[in-house]
Amino acid sequence: MNFLLNGVPTEVAAHPMARLLDVLREVCGLTGTKEGCGEGECGACTVLLNGEPVCSCLVPVSQVAGSEVLSIEGLRGEHPLQALFMSEVGAQCGICTPGMILTALSVPSVPTLDDVKTALAGNLCRCTGYPAIYRAVMKWRAAEPAK
Amino acid sequence: MSQVSAVGRSVARKDGIGKATGAARYADDLVFPGMLHGRTIRSTIPCGRIRSIRFAFDPAGFTIVDYRDVPDRNVVDLIAQDQPYLVEQEVRHLAEPILLLAHEDRDKLAAARVEIEYDEAPPLFDPEQSSHVFKAIDIVKGNAAAALAGADQVIEGTYRTGHQEHIYIEPNGVIAVPEDGGVTIHGSVQCPFYVIKAVRCLLGPGRPVRVIQTETGGGFGGKEEYPSMLAGHAAMLALKSGRPVKLVYDRGEDMVATTKRHPSIVRHRTGVTKDGRLVAMEVEVILDGGAYVTLSPVVLSRGCIHAAGPYRCDDISIRGRAVFTNTPPNGAFRGFGAPQTEFAVEVHMDRIAEALGMDPVELRRLNALRPGDTMATGQTLREDASAHLVLDAAVRRTDFTRKREEYRGSNRGIGLSLFYHGAGFTGSGERTLKSRARLVLTPTGVRIAVGSTEIGQGTRTMHAQIVTDALGIPYEDVEVAQPDTSRVADSGPTVASRTCMVVGKILEECALEMKQQLGGLAPAEYYARHGALTVERMYEPPDWIQWDDDTYRGDAYATYGWGCDVAELEVDPDTFEVRPLKLTTVQEFGRPIHPALARGQIEGGTVQGLGYALLERVVMKNGAMANAQLTNYAIPTTLDTPEIDVVMLTNPYPGGPFGAKGLGELPMDGPAPAIVNALRHLGFDVREIPATPELLAAVPTIP
């Protein structure tokens, strides 16, 4: 099975129905993608599949053949949202943070608060109650509108 | 060495960037050579005895553990020693651990079938029918019965709260690694020293135990006592197999088997004068403890002490009991009994206001505690009591009185709650605990070595800020050790809003002592000239604290945090869905050490309280959670969460580091009663939570 993982052509040997989540964590060794519920409800395992956020616990790896997958490691710690999630305390315990950040990448370039809430509605956070996450996302967009 | 102080500023967090890059390592991220995966086989009945066990799989390659493999004592060592690690004969609740399996192949492990036959016995699910009392508490001030008889009016009510599931986004998980004839536990835990005590009791002498906290994906009390069970299980599998064993629950198992907030029934009888003074309070508190004692006695204790609310009354009787039922044990959850009893008293206060035709704010102003007043246990409040401060600020900020009138007759309601939370262990608890903190000089600065865990709330950062300012060195020169029982001091459990106020205080004292020893040298200079230096100190609670555990008289807590929440909401007249519009929360907790982290505690706790009030319903069937999925147990999402207006007021506590009190639990106490009081304002006579649309459709309306 071949796909583009964080920009790198990748070949994995895995059962076609293996969860993308498990392949990323156990075959590729990328443990930044977290399992929170295993049923697509919490969003902790979110990755971008051809640019769209998906729950990697619900995606059989065979579905990503020939596609582009971006996991949190693909941002290499260089994306401004990553620092903002820490400084604005959008991350407390941090377990939802990788998925939350990847989902947040899809908010519109000049978002309203409602846009941010709608974009993140599939990602649960139990620590922050969300306002600090909004602050991080709004600061990022204010400083760096999408092209 | 002059610098800008760290305390009071939202400095860079000591967590670094790892949580945002995926580099932070949680329990499930760790892999050890030769590691097996573990699985727990659990009871499928709530009450009875095991008749037979049959393995319907080929056991080759499996490690199988049952109670006969327990090396020393088959009890989880906590308050009582009644809960077994593994069932021997008697099953007391559904999902009780009976057998442990381990295998290197998770698919084979999951496919293994174990058939267990039982002799079932009739289960007990109703706490009011339970005569098996884990703990009873009687708090007496004056003579409530006599005062009730003399009151102008008596208002009665019964209030109920349901289970609440923690839903830390990282489920429980540990790895046990055989080492030196014993085990090292790596795990998602709040209290490494609880785990080591429990596993030592299980394994017995001669087997060294070490516990290392991994990055922990949320706790909220849910990783206070349960990880001792998990760690014991993994330890037994590791010892028997001779290999590392990872035991990580999936969400369903975590929801069914681990602890939840205690359901409660609270009855109030309150005598008032016709002008609204509280003259007598009789309160009965019943907590459903589940099948084993676990922490129920202390949850009941905190619940009862807070049960009269932040009000002055000369004659109070509070009687509480935590009882047995055939359900999985309930346990620690942020607030620890107080959210239940403060819900009851705050909804009751609005019902008293209704009965008297009084404004709920005026009723509270007339009765709220002030410095110098005595509480139910006889404790006299000091200057750091702020009930009026937070009440007045919240009422003013929300324009409460005007909105209360303006919303009348619309589908919009506004309600408030006044609440408080004792910081630290109850009564003589901190004196008994004898927590210790350690500060170690390094070649480049100092290292904090305490067992207090970072579980998202900001322990590392806040402790480093306190040490920075007490020692007068750059913040960057302070590092924080990973909690590892072989390398840090036992600073007590990370619970009870004590990590800042109590452990932070010991660290402040360590830093002051170290500063003296450094004699004006910077840490690195001292280290280069004189070598290593370690300062360790024990916590000394304020000397004025008097407490009697038998009579429940005295100073229940060294200090209290204070809060007032205002909820504004709408109810859909067709679907009875509640749409929260805004939550305003005014809280006084001494002073914030790190304002952004403190705000995060308040916002996060407030939203947990919102879920508790409206969404989070645990459906029990045959004694266990039937909706053990995030699909049908709903916690607040972004779309359920309204604007939250946070106000942090200052009233320093002289016994805390830089004036700080505890904060972690306080925000959990207020939202549910404020929301239900807003529903009352709309005419819904709600006396239980969660107030689901189904409940709102069924409750009587208030004329």
B223-259 pLDDT, tens digit each: 999 999 999 999 999 999 999 999 999 999 999 999 9
Coarse DSSP helix, strand, coil percentages of chain A, rounded to the nearest 5 percent: 35, 15, 50
**B346: part of which helix (H) or strand (E)?**
helix B338-356
Question: What residue ranges in B450-572 does DSSP mark as E strands?
Answer: 478-480, 534-538, 547-548, 553-554, 560-571
Q: Which amino acid is at B90?
A: E
Interface touch A32/B641, C-beta < 8 Å: no
- Would the pLDDT of B156 be above 80? yes
Confidence of residue B1 (pLDDT cuts 50, 70, 90): very low
pLDDT tens digits, one per residue of B10-52: 999 999 999 999 999 999 999 999 999 999 999 999 999 999 9
CB B428 within 8 A of CB B681: no
* CB contacts, 8 Å: B216 with chain A: 93
DSSP B316-343: EEEEEEEEE-SSPPP---TTTTHHHHHH
Mean pLDDT calculated for residue range B204-212: 97
Q: How many whole angstroms separate alpha carbon B212 and alpha carbon B184?
A: 7
* CB contacts, 8 Å: B23 with chain A: 32, 77
Interface touch B629/A37, C-beta < 8 Å: yes
How remote is the C-alpha of B237 from its chain's centroid? 30
Residue A22 near chain B (CB below 8 Å): no
Q: Give the ranges where B167-291 is alpha helix by DSSP (H).
A: 192-203, 226-241, 251-257
CB neighbours of residue B151 within 10 Å = 19
* Core vs surface per residue B628-661: b (16+ CB within 10 A) or e: bbbeebbbbbbebbbebebbbbebbbebbbbbbb
Comparing alpha-carbon positions, the chain A residue that sits nearest to B29 is A31
Residue A122 near chain B (CB below 8 Å): yes
Residue B462 near chain A (CB below 8 Å): no
In three-state secondary structure terms, B252 is: helix
Interface touch A127/B13, C-beta < 8 Å: no
How far off is chain A from B227, nearest CA to CA, in Å?
17
Residue from B498, B600, B443 nearest B224 by CA = B498
Res A144: pLDDT:
79
* Core vs surface per residue B498-533: b (16+ CB within 10 A) or e: bbbbbbbbbbbbbbebbbeebeeebbbebbeeeeeb
CB neighbours of residue B121 within 10 Å = 14
Confidence of residue B703 (pLDDT cuts 50, 70, 90): confident
Res A125: pLDDT:
98
Angle B167-A70-A38 (CA atoms, 0-180°, nearest 5)?
Answer: 30
B452 DSSP assignment: P
pLDDT tens digits, one per residue of A123-146: 999 999 999 999 999 999 999 755
Q: What ipTM is given for this predicted complex? A: 0.98
Interface touch B251/A39, C-beta < 8 Å: yes
Residue A73 near chain B (CB below 8 Å): yes
Residue B256 near chain A (CB below 8 Å): no
Confidence of residue B2 (pLDDT cuts 50, 70, 90): very low
Name the average pLDDT for chain B. 97
pLDDT tens digits, one per residue of B550-593: 999 999 999 999 999 999 999 999 999 999 999 999 999 999 99
Q: Which two three-digit tokens encode residue A77?
A: 């710690």
CB B582 within 8 A of CB B568: yes
pLDDT tens digits, one per residue of B117-136: 999 999 999 999 999 999 99
Q: Which residues pair with B135 in a beta bridge?
A: B322
CB neighbours of residue B148 within 10 Å = 18
Q: Which amino acid is at A99?
A: G
Confidence of residue B3 (pLDDT cuts 50, 70, 90): low
B114-120 vs B48-55, strand pairing mode? antiparallel
In three-state secondary structure terms, B117 is: strand
Query: Number of A:B CB contacts under 8 A?
Result: 174
Comparing alpha-carbon positions, the chain A residue that sits nearest to B30 is A31
Interface touch B170/A95, C-beta < 8 Å: yes
Q: For residue B582, give every residue at least 6 positions away whose Cβ sits within 8 Å of its Cβ, in sequence order, or none.
A: B567, B568, B642, B643, B644, B645
% of chain B with per-residue pLDDT over 70: 99
Residue B139 has φ and ψ, to the nearest 5°, of -110, 120
In three-state secondary structure terms, B433 is: helix
Query: Using CB atoms, which residue from A77, A82, A127 is nearest to B456?
Result: A127
Residue from B268, B251, B261, B242 nearest B332 by CA = B261
Residue B456 near chain A (CB below 8 Å): yes
CB B218 within 8 A of CB B206: no
Alpha-carbon separation of residue B473 from B209, B476, B514, B656 (angstroms): 36, 8, 12, 21
How far off is chain B from A137, nearest CA to CA, in Å?
13
> Would you say how long chain B is, in residues?
703
Question: What residue ranges in B452-524 does DSSP mark as E strands?
Answer: 478-480
Angle B426-B430-B435 (CA atoms, 0-180°, nearest 5)?
Answer: 145
Query: Using CB atoms, which residue from B24, B171, B641 is nearest to A129?
Result: B641
CB neighbours of residue B117 within 10 Å = 10
Res B108: pLDDT:
97
Residue from B533, B535, B466, B549 nearest B502 by CA = B466
* CB contacts, 8 Å: B104 with chain A: none
A53 DSSP assignment: E
Residue A15 near chain B (CB below 8 Å): no
Q: Which amino acid is at B99?
A: L
* CB contacts, 8 Å: A42 with chain B: 169, 251, 630
DSSP A55-116: ETTS-BGGGGTT-EEE-GGGGTTTSHHHHHHHHTT--SS-SSHHHHHHHHTTS-SS--HHHH
Residue B411 near chain A (CB below 8 Å): no
Crossing angle of helices B226-241/B192-203, nearest 10°?
50
In three-state secondary structure terms, B222 is: coil
pLDDT tens digits, one per residue of B505-527: 999 999 999 999 999 999 999 99
* CB contacts, 8 Å: A72 with chain B: 20-22
Interface touch A130/B603, C-beta < 8 Å: yes
* CB contacts, 8 Å: B635 with chain A: 124, 126
Q: Which two three-digit tokens encode residue B562?
A: 């204070």
DSSP B118-171: EEE------GGG---EEEEEEEEES-HHHHHHT-SEEEEEEEEE--B----SS-
Interface touch A121/B456, C-beta < 8 Å: no
Residue A11 near chain B (CB below 8 Å): no
pLDDT tens digits, one per residue of B389-443: 999 999 999 999 999 999 999 999 999 999 999 999 999 999 999 999 999 999 9
* CB contacts, 8 Å: A123 with chain B: 638
B501 DSSP assignment: I
Mean pLDDT calculated for residue range B374-395: 98
% of chain B with per-residue pLDDT over 90: 99
Q: How many whole angstroms separate alpha carbon B615 and alpha carbon B604?
A: 15
Residue A55 near chain B (CB below 8 Å): no
Burial tier of B67 (Cβ tally within 10 Å: 0-12, 13-18, 19+)? middle
Query: Using CB atoms, which residue from B169, B604, B644 is nearest to A44?
Result: B169
Top residue of A76, A95, A118, A137 to mutate, by most chain B CBs within 10 Å, is: A95
The CA R_g of chain A, rounded to the nearest whole Å, is 15
- End-to-end distance of chain A based on CA atoms, in angstroms? 33
Mean pLDDT calculated for residue range B78-100: 97
Residue A5 near chain B (CB below 8 Å): no
Query: Using CB atoms, which residue from B17, B23, B597 is nearest to A89?
Result: B597
